[in-house]
Amino acid sequence: MKNETAKFALALGDDALTMGQRLSEWISNGPFLEEDIALANVALDFVGRARMFLGYAGELEGAGRSEDDLAFQRDCREFSNLLIFELPIGDFANTMARQYLVDAFEVPYFEALSDSADETIAAIAAKTVKECRYHLRRSRDWILRLGDGTEESHQRVQIAFDEVWPFVAELFEMPDYESRLFDAGIAVDRKALNSGWEQVVRETLQEATLSMPESDHAIRGGREGVHTEHLGFLLSDLQFMQRAYPGLQW
């Protein structure tokens, strides 16, 4: 069970790390100053979450790997983040569509995970959910603004939702080890969150005058280390300094 909990913590850490890295690509490129700062703040929340989960994964693993070792010294196939988190930032509409779909999932997910039988995971989840609520408030506002905005913003955010859509299915899938952790009270049943999430998203998109993507095409593989081609580029940015100068410290 300890190995599986380590795997679980690693996966949640990888989700947060790849998302944090993506969001920080916006720094100094945001549409306006306040939004630039907001994107950086949200990125920081994800990176902070990654540190907690990866640190705990390393501790459970017991092989002496620190959060930094896990972040900077693994290659693509060893990353177990869901694909939705590694997708490129695209334009602002792409970034916000992904953010909204993720936030709408994470609020109920981390709420439920706060009751995990594993105390550390429960504590990290309880801390995370407070931040997710801010993220959701902001990303939801943006979806309404972009969807019900100009003809162009409407069109671009609709395209963004259609593009991200094949990657949402993975949010609700349970690898075997996660199902066992769920039976042990440590993990959360992702499948059970699907219909509630869909309803919330449907209402928001409707209010934003957008249409809910109907395609059931799903792209998966993240938890098994089978990634899109984008992850390698993300890691080469993220890991460059540690690869070039192993053990480098600020």
Partner 1 sequence: MGEAAANIQIEPQVPASVVEALEGVVDPEIPVLTIRDLGVLRGVRMEDVCVVVTITPTYSGCPAMVEIQDNIDKALRDAGVESFRIETRLAPAWTTDWMSETGKRKLEEYGIAPPRRNSEVGCPQCGSANTKLVSQFGSTACKALYQCNACLEPFDHFKCH
Minimum distance of partner 1 from residue 44's CB (angstroms):
3
Give me Rg for the CA atoms of the chain. 18
Binding status of residue 22 toward partner 1 by CB under 8 A:
no
Q: Scanning the structure block, which residue is given the tokens 């395609």?
A: 215
Q: Name the segment binding partner 1 (CB under 8 A); options: 40-48, 71-79, 165-173, 233-241.
A: 40-48
Decide: 178 and 113 in contact? Cβ < 8 Å: no
Helix, strand or coil for residue 227? Answer: coil
Q: Name the segment binding partner 1 (CB under 8 A); options: 91-99, 133-141, 178-186, 233-241.
A: 133-141
Q: Can you tell me which of 48, 108, 149, 225 binds partner 1, judged by CB under 8 A?
A: 48
Minimum distance of partner 1 from residue 49's CB (angstroms):
5
Which residues between 73 and 92 bind partner 1 (CB under 8 A)?
A: none
Q: Can you tell me which of 7, 22, 98, 138 binds partner 1, judged by CB under 8 A?
A: 138
Minimum distance of partner 1 from residue 136's CB (angstroms):
11
Please tell me the distance from the alpha carbon of residue 64 to that of residue 69, in angstroms, as a whole number.
9
Please tell me the distance from the alpha carbon of residue 177 to that of residue 7, in angstroms, as a whole number.
8
DSSP letters for 34-74 = HHHHHHHHHHHHHHHHHHHHHHHHHHHHTS---HHHHHHS-
Binding status of residue 144 toward partner 1 by CB under 8 A:
no
Binding status of residue 124 toward partner 1 by CB under 8 A:
yes
Q: Can you tell me which of 7, 22, 51, 156 binds partner 1, judged by CB under 8 A?
A: 51
Binding status of residue 38 toward partner 1 by CB under 8 A:
yes
DSSP code, position 149: S
Q: Can you tell me which of 10, 11, 52, 84 binds partner 1, judged by CB under 8 A?
A: 52
Please name the residue ranges forming H helices in the chain.
Answer: 2-24, 33-61, 67-72, 83-86, 92-113, 119-147, 151-164, 176-183, 194-207, 230-244
Site residues for partner 1 per CB under 8 A: 20, 34-35, 37-38, 41-49, 51-52, 119-120, 122-124, 126-128, 130-131, 134, 137-138
